[in-house]
A and B are shown apart, each in its own frame.
Chain A
Amino acid sequence: MANSTLTKKRSTAYGSTVALKSAMAVTGAILVLYLIAHMYGNLKVFSGQEAFDGYAHGLRELGYPLLPEQGFLWIARIVLLASILIHIYAVAVLWRRAARARNDRYQVKKRVQRTYASYTMRYGGVLIAFFVVFHILHLTVNAIAPGGKSDSPFERLVNGFQPEFWYVTLFYVAAVIAVGFHLRHGIWSAMATLGANKASRQGKINAVAVAVSLVVTIGFLLPPLAVTFGLVSK
């Protein structure tokens, strides 16, 4: 406005955009570490049913008898759920704020240098959120069971990604690619938000972001595609 006095009441820095972004960065980092562990478990499918099911069962017993049975699993689930909720809350607030900040759109807008991945963050994130719900219903609680229910995690996987359920595989592939793009920009952005970006380090941070997203994308695509193409079967 034309007057230049500070008339508006100031918000506190704890609720600032930077604090929200930092919350997204930290919870995102937790989720990336989880994804890497999850991917490692998935790749056990290439060692056969016994190794895969044994690994899944081992997770339930991890930390036992120090922790109660499934104790580790429930701690992980609570941390992950809290991370996801904080991540989504922060993006909801920031997305609304960004939409309000650019309330009139440009008639012509040109991309200068931004990555394709940076365009996919918000809508890609929504796709990933829907996928996570489906994924838990499918392979964790087995409420959705294309190809038949089973107590064996290996059999659930093999049943669910048979060629006749190509749409399940397609959704999975689309979601994993969305995760890849999400991590490509997300890892870079999280590092910058947490203050690690220096001109001399930008190349390295971007290289790590690309490398991690490629590894995660390929690592998650291999097991279901191996089932679809018959490389892994019961």
Chain B
Amino acid sequence: MTEPEGPATGQDTAVSTTASRLFDLRTVLALLFYVYGIVLLIVGLVSTTEADIAKAGGWNVNLVTGIAMLVLAIFFTVWVRLRPVKAPIEEIEGTAGDTAGPPGH
């Protein structure tokens, strides 16, 4: 059984902080819900008919869901701002520390 070359090899292509922030899953989630939220909000404001409201049991589902999605998107944006992805250097240290964990393996 060959041990894999381990996370160390995975880290030699250190991505720049901007790239890792772009690729941060929270940013992707925020993007998805900004787009969905804005589209639903506009649909809710502009083209909601009485029939649509009756269909959903008396509330403007596109409008309310759109607003909820925008709130979620803002939450993810704030989270990225407050707790940005750590720089790659720290990542390596963190990973190495954990890998060294239990002795004997």
A, B in one complex: no
